């Protein structure tokens, strides 16, 4: 990356913060400026290597906002520590690209950006579900190719979702939001697997089921099943929302794919390596009625051979959180994490309630520091 690929905001700031990519909105820059930071922003759209980021950190750097495409491990946290760095924030809610243990070893707080992308990401999972179920992308290509010669009873037959069963793997914030959308919008029954029961979701759906009953409609149900396999066997749609770690790497492999219904739909807006993509390509080839919607890929930005040729797969480039409101909100949270630590504030640590940070009088805290207690950041009182 050449020096031309960086721009500086607030030249005279006394603290130096490196932000490896341009971020949407202005609020994040105002927050860092108010914290007396000189902000150096990478303008290249190419993914930066560890060496490039390390060079940019240089001899003196107080904080960094980095991307999920960067490997924040021993090398970069050593560079940041040696440069006097005190704060790092990922510009993402997921932080599987960050070795939090290494950051903690060097006493560096690690921030993320929860809360503002829950519904946005769930909405993309819903979009992928229906694009797949109703073959929207295939039909769009057909129209553009001017192949439409008149209405036919059999043209692009898809799957009706109403009243069917949706399976959610990982019922955290996003999985729960997706389940609620599918229930309220399409009256689907929910089965889920998560190591921890989501009582809020179960009670919410039970109450909604009672409401439907009171209206003379079929009630809907929400059941936590004992295993991923149990969900795969019964669900018409399965949406994946687990964290990526050693236990969820290739969670969807040949064996588990084979448990799904032949005409089921599989959605992934979590992390690519949760699916064995080679196995998925093979499964889609041999099961033409099986449908898939993917926002994420195992070797992002690359796709496994054969994936893009499959008509039964809808693919988008990791844009589940890509709305202006959400991406600006993520920038605000990432900047507030770094500025909050540099200002000496406490950690907010209520990732379900970070919206006050988007308002005019944000709390004097760092909104989401995942290793706050480990690095000795006190909790906001
Ligand atoms: C995240 O935040 O983890 C998403 O994958 C990108 O918004």
For 283-299, what is each residue's pLDDT tens digit? 999 999 999 999 999 99
Q: What is the pLDDT of residues 244-286, one digit of tens each?
A: 999 999 999 999 999 999 999 999 999 999 999 999 999 999 9
Which ligand 1 atom lies nearest to the CA of residue 93?
Answer: 2
Residue 380 resides in a domain: no
Cα–Cα nearest to 62, from 89, 80, 43: 80
Is 375 part of a structural domain of the chain?
Answer: no
Burial of 104 (0-12, 13-18, 19+ CB in 10 A): middle
What's the pLDDT at 2?
A: 72
Helix (H) or strand (E) holding 224: strand 222-224
Is the Cβ–Cβ distance between 270 and 242 less than 8 Å?
yes
> How high is the pLDDT of residue 4?
74
Active site residue 318: yes
Residue 381 counted as domain residue: no
Kindly state whether residues 270 and 184 are assigned to the same domain.
Answer: yes
The string of pLDDT tens digits covering residues 310-320 is: 999 999 999 99
Strand-pairing partners, residue 88, are 64, 110
DSSP class of 272: G
Question: Which residue's alpha carbon is nearest to atom 3 within ligand 1?
Answer: 94
Pocket of ligand 1, candidates 68, 319, 332: which has the most ligand atoms within 8 Å of its Cβ, to mutate?
Answer: 68
Task: Examine the domain organization and report whether 197 and 256 are in the same domain.
Answer: yes
- CA torsion sign, 247 to 250 to 252 to 256? negative
Instruction: Reply yes or no on whether the pLDDT at 78 is more than 70.
Output: yes
Q: Do residues 108 and 128 share a domain?
A: no
Domain span at residue 361? Answer: 3-116+323-366
Q: What is the CATH number of the domain that holds 268?
A: 3.40.50.720
Average pLDDT over residues 351-368: 94
The one catalytic residue among 241, 271, 283, 327 = 271
Tell whether 377 is covered by a domain. Answer: no
Residue 379 lies in a domain: no
Report which ligand 1 atom has the smallest distance to the Cα of 269.
Answer: 5
The reply to whether 103 and 31 lie within a common domain is yes
| CA distances, 278 to each of 247, 272, 307 (Å) | 19, 12, 8
Q: Number of folded domains in the chain?
A: 2
**What gap in Å lies between CA 301 and CA 155, rounded to an integer?**
33
* Cβ proximity of 190 and 168 under 8 Å: yes
Distance from residue 92's CA to the centre of ligand 1 (Å): 4
271 is catalytic: yes
Q: Which two tokens stand for residue 228?
A: 């991923």
Ligand 1 center to residue 287 CA distance, Å? 30
How does DSSP classify residue 39?
E
Cα 163 to ligand 1 centre (Å): 30
Judgement on whether residues 239 and 204 belong to the same structural domain of the protein: yes
Residues with CB under 6 A from ligand 1: 68, 92-94, 117, 321
Task: Say whether both 255 and 192 belong to one domain.
Answer: yes
Structure tokens at 147: 């192949």
CB count within 10 Å of CB 208 equals: 17
The alpha carbon of 317 and the centre of ligand 1 are apart by a number of angstroms equal to: 12
Statement to judge: residues 210 and 239 lie in one domain: yes
Catalytic pick from 30, 74, 300, 374? Answer: 300
Residue 161 and residue 101 share a domain: no
286 Cα to the center of ligand 1, angstroms: 31
Q: Which of 324, 345, 347, 343 has its CA nearest to residue 111? A: 347
Among 69, 92, 324, which is best to mutate for testing ligand 1, by the most ligand atoms less than 8 A from CB?
92
- Do residues 129 and 261 both lie within one domain? yes
Alpha-carbon distance 73 to 107, whole Å?
14
At 381, the pLDDT band (50, 70, 90 cuts) reads confident
Q: What is the per-residue pLDDT across 163-185, written as a single tens digit (0 to 9) for each?
A: 999 999 999 999 999 999 999 99
Residues 133 and 242 in one domain: yes
* Span 95-114, pLDDT tens digits: 999 999 999 999 999 999 99
249 CA to centre of own chain: 16
Is 165 found in the same domain as 69?
Answer: no
Is 199 part of the annotated catalytic residue set?
no
Residues 134 and 283 in one domain: yes
Tokens encoding 151: 């209405």
Closest CA to 78 of 109, 106, 48: 106
Q: Which residue CA neighbors atom 2 of ligand 1 most closely?
A: 92
In this structure, is residue 49 part of a structural domain?
yes
Phi-psi region of 250 (alpha: psi -120 to 50; beta: other; left: phi over 0): left
Model pTM greater than 0.75?
A: yes
The string of DSSP letters for 139-179 reads HHHHHHTT---S--TTTT-----TT-EEEEE--SHHHHHHH
Instruction: List the residue whose alpha carbon is closest to atom 4 of ligand 1.
Output: 92
């Amino acid at each position: 990356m050449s020096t031309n690929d960086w721009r500086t905001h607030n030249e005279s700031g006394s603290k130096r913060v490196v932000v490896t990519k341009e971020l949407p909105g202005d609020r994040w820059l105002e927050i860092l400026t108010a914290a007396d930071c000189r902000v150096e922003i990478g303008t290249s759209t190419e993914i930066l290597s560890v060496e490039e980021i390390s060079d940019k950190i240089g001899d003196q750097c107080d904080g960094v906002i980095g991307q999920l495409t960067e490997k924040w491990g021993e090398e970069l946290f050593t560079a940041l520590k040696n440069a006097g760095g005190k704060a790092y924030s990922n510009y993402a809610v997921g932080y599987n690209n960050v070795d939090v243990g290494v950051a903690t070893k060097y006493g560096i707080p690690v921030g993320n950006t929860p809360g503002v992308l829950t519904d946005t990401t769930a909405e993309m999972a819903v979009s992928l579900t229906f694009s797949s179920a109703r073959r929207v992308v295939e039909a769009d290509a057909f129209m553009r190719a001017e192949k439409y010669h008149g209405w036919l009873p059999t043209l692009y037959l898809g799957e009706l979702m109403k009243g069917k069963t949706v399976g959610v793997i990982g019922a955290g914030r996003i999985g729960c939001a997706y389940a609620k959308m599918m229930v309220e919008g399409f009256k689907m029954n929910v089965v889920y697997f998560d190591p921890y029961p989501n009582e809020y979701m179960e009670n919410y759906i039970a109450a909604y089921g009672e409401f439907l009953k009171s209206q003379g409609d079929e009630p809907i149900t929400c059941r936590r099943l004992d295993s991923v396999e149990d969900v795969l066997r019964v669900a018409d749609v399965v949406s994946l929302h687990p964290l990526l770690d050693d236990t969820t790497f290739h969670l969807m492999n040949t064996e588990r794919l084979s448990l799904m219904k032949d005409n089921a739909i599989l959605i992934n807006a979590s992390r690519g390596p949760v699916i064995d993509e080679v196995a998925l390509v093979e499964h889609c080839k041999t099961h033409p009625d099986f449908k898939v919607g993917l926002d994420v890929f195992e070797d992002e930005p690359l796709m496994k051979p054969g994936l893009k040729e499959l008509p039964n797969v809808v693919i988008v480039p990791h844009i589940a959180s890509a709305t202006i409101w959400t991406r600006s909100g993520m920038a605000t949270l990432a900047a507030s994490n770094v500025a909050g630590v540099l200002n000496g504030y406490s950690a907010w640590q209520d990732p379900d309630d970070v919206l006050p940070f988007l308002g005019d009088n944000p709390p004097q805290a760092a909104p989401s520091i995942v290793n706050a207690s480990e690095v000795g950041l006190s909790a906001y009182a």
